[in-house]
Amino acid sequence: MKVTALEGHRVWAATYDSTPNPLLALERRLLPKLLGEAAGLRALDLACGTGHWAAYLASCGAQAWGVDFCGEMLACAHLSLRGRLVAGAAGRLPFSAACFDLVVCSFALGYLQDLDAALREAARMAVRGARVLLSDVHPEAIARGWSRSFRSGAVRYEIENTPRSLDTIRPCAEAAGLAFEAEEHAGFGAPELPIFEVAGKAEAVAASAGVPAVWISQWSKR
């Protein structure tokens, strides 16, 4: 069943954190080293879902906040984030300008209908020199037939999305006031193998060899 991002995440919320996901596992293996030292920073987890990165950054000593447009995902967030999560759309964030030292937007770019507005808001949130990290499913993986999907009971849901590459994002980000710093492309490895084995899909790791699964880009606010 094909659904919109909001419809899909409303259904997915109840099992999002309890169902092993190799894409999330891969990103969670890579992103901490890119986030670096977070103690004392004011951080925003943009399109936070259940607030994984807000919780991680808070555990590292940051003053972390999360915002998402799906109330069901926010309702499933960890209790430690109570009072730190806000309902809002990426293109119109409920925060004052220049109030964060770090902005993270994880696995949401492909769901955004108005990329320009979302990146303008991400830049507006950031103080001068702040870091902005963006990640998503790699567009090459989508081009090879991968989908943004999950199962709930006997139903398979495929979430509508638009693959975003650096070539697509860069002009929007630069127009918003962000300066490109680096990008990283990564495929599945041995740490993700147990997730595929539990799902009975161990052969998928070999089949995906050489295919980048996750894309991460780093920017700074000019």
Task: Look at residue 125 in the predicted model and tell me its pLDDT.
Answer: 97
The arrangement of secondary structure in 2-126+144-221, i.e. its CATH architecture, is 3-Layer(aba) Sandwich (3.40)
For residue 174, give the amino acid letter.
Answer: E
The crossing angle, in degrees rounded to 10, of helices 166-176 and 115-125 is: 50
The β-bridge partners of 173 are none
208 pLDDT exceeds 90? no
Contact 188, 208 (CB under 8 A): yes
Contact 94, 124 (CB under 8 A): no
pTM, entire model: 0.95
Task: Look at residue 159 in the predicted model and tell me its pLDDT.
Answer: 98
Let me know the angle formed at the C-alpha of 146 by 151 and 192, rounded to the nearest 5 degrees.
75
Q: How confident is the model at residue 210 (pLDDT cuts 50, 70, 90)?
A: confident
Task: Look at residue 204 in the predicted model and tell me its pLDDT.
Answer: 82
Chain segment 80-123, per-residue pLDDT in tens: 999 999 999 999 999 999 999 999 999 999 999 999 999 999 99
Chain segment 120-165, per-residue pLDDT in tens: 999 999 999 999 999 999 999 999 999 999 999 999 999 999 999 8
Which one has a higher pLDDT value, 46 or 207? Answer: 46
SS (H, E, C) the chain: CEECHHHHHHHHHHHCCCCCCHHHHHHHHHHHHHHCCCCCCEEEEECCCCCHHHHHHHHCCCEEEEEECCHHHHHCCCHHHCCCEEECECCECCCCCCCEEEEEEECCHHHCCCHHHHHHHHHHHEEEEEEEEEEEECHHHHHCCCCCEEEECCEEEEECCCCCCHHHHHHHHHHHCEEEEEEEEECCCHHHHHHHHHCCCCHHHHHCCCCCCEEEEEEEEC
Chain segment 27-76, per-residue pLDDT in tens: 999 999 999 999 999 999 999 999 999 999 999 999 999 999 999 999 99
Task: Look at residue 192 in the predicted model and tell me its pLDDT.
Answer: 94
199 pLDDT exceeds 90? no
- The residue-averaged pLDDT of 162-178 equals 94
